[in-house]
């Protein structure tokens, strides 16, 4: 059908895009694995982070440098949101938490819409169009950096989870909240830290995306629905699942865009999403839903 | 019969409004508010009484709107027949989504996600499919005759939507007093305990979804007739998914009048926001989002629940006979 | 006499690597009170969950009223006449006591008026008639246990599975509820009860099964089981029987 010369770059680009999807999904799956809710504000936070990265660039800060500013800033934002808004507002009820995160999503997205209108903005970094010649194909530099960065972040997260006290506390709460509480762990704090980490992931992803993507108030939405699909496919709460799922979805999207065109490519992803939810909700790597 | 008296009184009061108020602005506000109340009552059946929180009720609203519009525009079907078929289509979509999701045992977050995804899929399909007019949308020709379900006088539209809302109020009350309703509420409170008492939770939830879909689709059909234009963003956009869930939550989930009260409050807030800021898009939804968070935080049972709590507090007996178990 | 109402035959249940129930068999003759006892973590509630349809067994079968009902879903079993209470009580917290019991009553009665009559009757039987319009979450622990029982009774069961219905009750509350349970048995309802309160078990049960680490290790009349060294060991640990010098287990 299609020649390898077209398929292979599509697959490789799919992997590169998929890595960033995976990072967005990572934040989501982390929050689910510990708080056991789906954070509907995830997409809006990504959009906000992309706007932040955009404005950082306008102030002369290169996106890759901005990572080191925005990640801590958004960690703090996520921490504060969970600790002082979402946690108290939900009164411990999962269904309420869904609604509260939805409400926050609506607020953030529409505040951005109100402040910045629906115009699409892009930035122009000098290396945006540089690419590396791999012989059989060219791959864009920003996307390669993004790919590497995602694995670096995953590695850092793994180190945090395995070797720091906070990481151990997070794993304890994820496994058995009541027991962790009885052992003296401050669950509200752990929840907030986890939410902060998830938001930081999204901030990093935003910085990785901004060299090659546009920014507008609904940009985050496009990514987050894909992220949901990845998280469900890879298994809620599974970090390897998010990474592998991200790569798979990136490739699927790339190939279905090739065959079906952009909009229908998106539909393909949703259909996979619905199919996975119905047939195997625990995903490839997840525990029982 | 006594139980339905409040509904009769409220509907009668509302019906009298166009006889006293002649301002088109006010009538238009009320028509839209009633339409949202109808959509919200649909959500309320599944979410308020059944505890299944759908984040994609646009799927039903949009289906109702598109089906009735397309049948009229492309196939020359009579507008009233189109309306009825639109409602049936909404019910059918509810049956499909319900069968798929509840038989698989999906609950909570997953259920919210799936409904969101369904609405999004429909939105994307509608934005590219030729039959819906794709990006351009579908325009119903102006034809101010009763047979075409279009009326010169806004008051008539008002009475039509009021009649639909009245039916939805009666439906909610009937459900509340029926075995189905007792089962549905039990599923909401504790699905496992309900199952142990013989409740077929999957079927109960699916039936609730069919009813819910039909009611919200009716609101969509009305939208098409009132505004005469439908596109994918209007039909399947997140705005209606949000308003459909916001109105019962503000007014009081699982109550008969919750969606109606909530709709009036939501629309009033929306108007207020607009007066403040002109036509800048987004601010009214910011207000809605903030209200959602605040209501869940401080009044999770909505306005009606808050009133009930206040009444309980005021008539509280001094000595407690049984301590908190 | 006809086949026993409930026959659990060599049922096993695996959770990953853990064999929670291992080839356990149990028989409940119609109209009798049968007890299922054993140390904590023995798998008793898991077995109940299998019998009531909340879990599928990895192996073995469950026969009820002469039919194989293995793996049938809970609501179907409820319609057949199997009712169960939960170890951790699960009231419909947002509803009143009356509304709670009504859900059970509706299983056999479609019309609200008929169902409400059943609610009144059942509430009287378990002693909740004076609290019908209270919110369920304002009941004491004893009240919630009675509610749990009332809901199950409202479904007009033939077989009643009681999971530690006496847990958390003080001696006087236990003294009040035991006659209620006996009364149910006198009406012909078959009862299988998981219990730790040994006095109640000894006085109520006609036949006892002992489950330890997933396996049935003993069965028989109360006196027989109480003096069985294997049973004592299961509760007190290795060598426990020797320590007690063969005295009645407690």
Q: Spell out a b/e string for B101-129, using b for 16 or more CB atoms within 10 Å of the CB, else e.
A: bbebebbbbbbbbbbbbbbbbbbbbbbee
**C211/A256 Cα distance (integer angstroms):** 57
Q: In what order do the strands lie in the sheet with C215-220?
A: C82-84, C159-163, C190-194, C33-37, C207-212, C215-220
> Residue ranges of the domains in chain A?
4-279
Of B104, B109, B283, the CB nearest to A38: B109
Is the per-residue pLDDT at A63 higher than 70? yes
Query: Is B32 inside any structural domain?
Result: yes
**CB spacing of A96 vs B106 below 8 angstroms:** no
**CB spacing of A270 vs B242 below 8 angstroms:** no
Q: Which domain holds residue B250?
A: 2-314
Q: Do strands C190-194 and C18-28 pair parallel, antiparallel, or not at all (unpaired)?
A: unpaired
Contact criterion met (CB below 8 Å) for B127 and B133: no
Examine chains C and B and say if they touch (3+ CB pairs below 8 A). yes
Look at residue A64 in the predicted model and tell me its pLDDT: 87
Of C74, C99, C152, the CB nearest to B195: C74
Helix B179-189 × helix B154-176 angle, to 10° = 80
Look at residue A175 in the predicted model and tell me its pLDDT: 83
How far does the CA of residue A136 sit from the closest CA of chain B (Å)?
35
Helix B179-189 × helix C112-126 angle, to 10° = 50
The CATH number assigned to the domain holding B99 equals 1.10.3470
Interface probe with C: pick from B50, B195, B196, B319, most Cβ of C within 10 Å? B196
**B232/B248 Cα distance (integer angstroms):** 24
User: Hey, what CATH topology would domain C1-81+159-250 get?
Assistant: Rossmann fold (3.40.50)
Of B53, B124, B249, the CB nearest to A263: B124
Look at residue B138 in the predicted model and tell me its pLDDT: 82
For A101, counting Cβ atoms within 10 Å of its Cβ (0-12 exposed, 13-18 middle, 19+ buried), the class is: buried
Is the per-residue pLDDT at A286 higher than 70? no
* H helix runs in A210-281, sequence order: 219-234, 239-260, 262-279
Contact criterion met (CB below 8 Å) for B249 and B295: yes
Q: What angle is formed at CA C8 by the lines to CA C6 and CA C13, rounded to 5 degrees?
A: 140
Query: Which chain B residues are closer than 8 Å to C92 by Cβ?
Result: 185-186, 189-190, 193-194
C140 and chain B: CB distance < 8 Å anywhere? yes
Query: A125 in helix, strand or coil?
Result: coil
B325 and chain C: CB distance < 8 Å anywhere? yes
CB neighbourhood size of C187 (10 A): 10
The mean pLDDT of A146-153, rounded to a whole number, is 89
**CB spacing of C144 vs B325 below 8 angstroms:** yes
DSSP run (H or E) holding A170: helix A165-175
CA closest to A41 among chain B residues: B289
CA closest to B198 among chain C residues: C75
Mean pLDDT, chain A, whole residue set: 84
Give just the sign of the alpha carbon dihedral A127, A133, A134, A139: positive
CA distances from B234 to B127, B228, C118 (A): 11, 12, 50
**CB spacing of B186 vs C84 below 8 angstroms:** no
Neighbours of C (≥3 Cβ pairs closer than 8 A)? B
DSSP run (H or E) holding A133: strand A131-133
The model's pLDDT over C131-172, given as tens digits with 9 standing for 90+, comes to 999 999 899 988 999 999 999 999 999 999 999 999 888 899
Q: What angle is formed at CA B85 by the lines to CA B83 and CA B91, rounded to 5 degrees?
A: 110
C56 and chain B: CB distance < 8 Å anywhere? no
Is the per-residue pLDDT at C249 higher than 90? no
CA closest to B200 among chain C residues: C75
Most confident of A10-24, A157-171, A259-273, B78-92: B78-92
Residue of B219, B275, B211, B206 whose CA lies nearest to B247:
B219
Contact criterion met (CB below 8 Å) for B108 and B269: no
User: Hey, what CATH topology would domain A4-279 get?
Assistant: ABC transporter involved in vitamin B12 uptake, BtuC (1.10.3470)
**C158/C175 Cα distance (integer angstroms):** 24
B184 and chain C: CB distance < 8 Å anywhere? no
**C203/C183 Cα distance (integer angstroms):** 13
Query: Is B321 inside any structural domain?
Result: no
Give, as one character, the DSSP assignment of residue A237.
T
Q: What angle is formed at CA A277 by the lines to CA A8 and CA C58, rounded to 5 degrees?
A: 115
CA closest to A88 among chain B residues: B297
**CB spacing of A107 vs B289 below 8 angstroms:** yes
First to last CA, chain C: 33
> Residue ranges of the domains in chain C?
1-81+159-250, 90-156
Residue of C65, C29, C62, C22 whose CA lies nearest to C44:
C22
Residue B168: which residues within 8 A CB-CB, separation 6 or more?
A: B38, B41, B42, B215, B218, B259
Chains A, B: CB pairs < 8 Å:
126
- More confident position, A96 or A128: A96
Express as a percent the part of chain C with pLDDT over 90: 65
Query: Which chain A residues are closer than 8 Å to B266 by Cβ?
Result: none
Examine chains C and A and say if they touch (3+ CB pairs below 8 A). no
How far does the CA of residue B283 sit from the closest CA of chain C (Å)?
36
Contact criterion met (CB below 8 Å) for C211 and C47: yes
Of B113, B291, B300, the CB nearest to A91: B300
Of B185, B190, B325, the CB nearest to C138: B325
Q: Spell out a b/e string for C93-105, using b for 16 or more CB atoms within 10 Å of the CB, else e.
A: ebbbbbbbbbbbb
**B176/B181 Cα distance (integer angstroms):** 5
Cα dihedral B113, B118, B121, B126 in deg (nearest 10): -140
**CB spacing of C112 vs B324 below 8 angstroms:** no
Query: Which chain A residues are closer than 8 Å to B288 by Cβ?
Result: 106
DSSP run (H or E) holding A138: strand A138-140
Look at residue C239 in the predicted model and tell me its pLDDT: 64
Give the pLDDT band (50/70/90) at residue A79: very high
Q: Which residues of chain B have pLDDT under 70?
A: 278-279, 316-325
Query: Is B319 inside any structural domain?
Result: no
Query: Which chain B residues are closer than 8 Å to C151 by Cβ?
Result: 193, 197
Interface probe with B: pick from A35, A41, A103, A253, most Cβ of B within 10 Å? A103
Give the pLDDT band (50/70/90) at residue A263: low
The model's pLDDT over B217-246, given as tens digits with 9 standing for 90+, comes to 999 999 999 999 999 989 998 889 999 999
Q: Do strands C33-37 and C82-84 pair parallel, antiparallel, or not at all (unpaired)?
A: unpaired
Contact criterion met (CB below 8 Å) for C50 and C74: no
SS3 content of chain A, % helix, strand, coil (to 5): 75, 5, 20
Give the pLDDT band (50/70/90) at residue C60: very high
What DSSP string describes chain C? Answer: -PPPSEEEEEEEEEETTEEEEEEEEEEE-TT-EEEEE-STTSSHHHHHHHHTTSS--SEEEEEETTEE-TT--HHHHHHHTEEE--SS----TTSBHHHHHHHHHTTT--SHHHHHHHHHHHHHHHT-GGGTTSBGGGS-HHHHHHHHHHHHHHT--SEEEEESTTTT--HHHHHHHHHHHHHHHHTT-EEEEE---HHHHHHH-SEEEEEETTEEEEEE-HHHHHT-HHHHHHHH-TTHHHHHTTPPP-
B313 and chain C: CB distance < 8 Å anywhere? no
Q: What angle is formed at CA B85 by the lines to CA B80 and CA B88, rounded to 5 degrees?
A: 135
Q: Do strands C207-212 and C215-220 pair parallel, antiparallel, or not at all (unpaired)?
A: antiparallel
The count of structural domains within chain B is: 1
Chain B residues within 8 A (CB-CB) of chain A?
51, 53, 55, 100-101, 104-106, 108-110, 112-114, 116-118, 120-121, 124-125, 127-128, 242, 245, 249, 277, 280-283, 285-286, 288-293, 296-297, 300
Helix C112-126 × helix C171-186 angle, to 10° = 130
Is the per-residue pLDDT at A289 higher than 60? no
Q: What angle is formed at CA A119 by the lines to CA A118 and CA A120, rounded to 5 degrees?
A: 115
Query: Is B154 inside any structural domain?
Result: yes
B304 and chain C: CB distance < 8 Å anywhere? no
């Amino acid at each position: 059908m299609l020649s390898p010369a077209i398929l292979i770059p599509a697959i490789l680009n799919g992997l590169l895009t998929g890595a960033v999807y995976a990072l967005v999904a990572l934040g989501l799956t982390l929050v689910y694995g510990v708080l056991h809710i789906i954070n509907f504000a995830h997409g809006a936070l990504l959009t906000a982070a992309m706007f932040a990265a955009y404005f950082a660039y306008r102030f002369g800060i290169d996106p890759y440098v901005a990572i080191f500013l925005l990640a801590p800033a958004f960690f703090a934002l996520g921490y504060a949101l969970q600790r002082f808004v979402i946690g108290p507002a939900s009164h411990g009820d999962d269904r309420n938490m869904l609604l509260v995160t939805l409400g926050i999503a609506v607020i953030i997205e529409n505040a951005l819409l109100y402040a910045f209108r629906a115009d699409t903005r892009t930035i122009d970094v000098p290396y945006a169009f540089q690419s590396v010649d791999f012989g059989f194909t060219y791959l864009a530099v920003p996307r390669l950096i993004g790919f590497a960065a995602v694995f670096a972040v995953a590695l850092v997260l793994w180190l945090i989870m395995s070797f720091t006290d906070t990481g151990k506390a997070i794993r304890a709460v994820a496994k058995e909240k009541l027991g962790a509480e009885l052992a003296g762990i401050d669950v509200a704090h752990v929840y907030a830290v986890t939410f902060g980490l998830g938001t930081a992931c999204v901030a990093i992803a935003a910085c990785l995306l901004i060299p090659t993507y546009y920014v507008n108030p609904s940009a985050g939405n496009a990514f987050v629905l894909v992220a949901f699909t990845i998280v469900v496919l890879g298994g809620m709460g599974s970090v390897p699942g998010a990474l592998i799922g991200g790569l798979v979805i990136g490739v699927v999207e790339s190939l279905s865009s090739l065959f079906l065109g952009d909009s229908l490519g998106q539909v393909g992803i949703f259909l996979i999403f619905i199919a996975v939810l119905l047939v195997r909700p625990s995903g490839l790597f997840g525990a029982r839903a | 019969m006594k139980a339905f008296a409040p509904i009769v009184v409220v509907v009668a009061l509302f019906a009298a409004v166009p006889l006293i108020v002649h301002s088109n602005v006010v009538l238009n506000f009320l028509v839209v508010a009633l339409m949202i109340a109808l959509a919200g009552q649909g959500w309320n059946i599944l979410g308020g009484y059944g505890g299944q929180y759908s984040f994609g009720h646009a799927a039903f609203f949009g289906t109702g709107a598109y089906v009735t519009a397309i049948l009229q525009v492309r196939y020359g079907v009579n507008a009233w027949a189109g309306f009825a078929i639109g409602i049936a289509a909404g019910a059918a979509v509810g049956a499909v989504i319900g069968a798929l999701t509840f038989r698989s045992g999906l609950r909570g977050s997953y259920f919210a996600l799936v409904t969101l995804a369904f609405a999004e899929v429909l939105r994307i399909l509608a934005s590219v499919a030729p039959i819906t007019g794709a990006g351009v949308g579908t325009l119903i020709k102006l034809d101010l005759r009763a047979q075409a379900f279009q009326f010169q006088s806004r008051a008539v539209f008002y009475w039509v939507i009021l009649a639909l809302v009245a039916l939805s109020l009666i439906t909610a009350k009937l459900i509340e007093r029926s075995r189905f309703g007792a089962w549905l509420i039990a599923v909401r409170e504790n699905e496992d305990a309900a199952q142990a008492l013989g409740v077929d939770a999957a079927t109960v939830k699916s039936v609730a979804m069919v009813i819910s879909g039909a009611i919200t689709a009716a609101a969509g059909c009305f939208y098409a007739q009132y505004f005469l234009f439908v596109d994918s963003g209007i039909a399947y956009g997140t705005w209606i998914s949000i308003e459909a869930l916001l109105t019962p939550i503000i007014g009081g989930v699982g109550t008969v009048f919750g969606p109606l009260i909530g709709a009036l409050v939501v629309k009033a807030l929306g108007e207020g926001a607009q007066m403040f800021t002109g036509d800048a898009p987004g601010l009214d939804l910011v207000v809605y989002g903030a209200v959602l968070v605040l209501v869940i935080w401080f009044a999770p049972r909505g306005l009606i629940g808050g009133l009930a709590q206040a009444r309980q507090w005021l008539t509280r007996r001094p000595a407690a006979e049984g301590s908190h178990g | 006499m006809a086949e026993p109402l409930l026959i659990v035959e060599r049922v096993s249940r695996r959770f990953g690597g853990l064999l929670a129930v291992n080839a356990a068999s149990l028989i409940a003759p119609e109209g009798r009170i049968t007890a299922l006892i054993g140390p904590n973590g023995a798998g008793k509630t898991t077995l109940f969950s299998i019998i009531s349809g909340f879990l599928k067994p990895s192996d073995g079968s469950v026969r009820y009223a002469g039919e194989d009902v293995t793996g049938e879903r809970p609501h179907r079993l409820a319609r057949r006449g199997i009712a169960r209470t939960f170890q951790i009580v699960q009231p419909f917290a947002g509803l009143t006591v009356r509304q709670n019991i009504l859900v059970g009553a509706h299983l056999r009665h479609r019309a609200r008026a008929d169902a409400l009559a059943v609610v009144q009757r059942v509430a009287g039987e378990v002693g909740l008639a004076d609290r019908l319009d209270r919110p369920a979450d304002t009941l004491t622990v004893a009240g919630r246990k009675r509610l749990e029982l009332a809901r199950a009774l409202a479904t007009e069961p033939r077989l009643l599975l009681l999971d530690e219905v006496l847990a958390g009750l003080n001696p006087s509350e236990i003294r009040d509820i035991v006659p209620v349970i006996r009364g149910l048995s006198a009406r012909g309802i078959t009862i299988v009860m998981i219990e730790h309160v040994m006095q109640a078990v000894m006085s109520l049960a006609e036949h006892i099964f002992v489950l330890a680490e997933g396996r049935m290790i003993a069965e028989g009349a109360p006196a027989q089981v109480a003096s069985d060294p294997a049973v004592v060991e299961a509760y007190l640990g290795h060598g426990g029987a020797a320590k007690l010098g063969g005295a009645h287990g407690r």
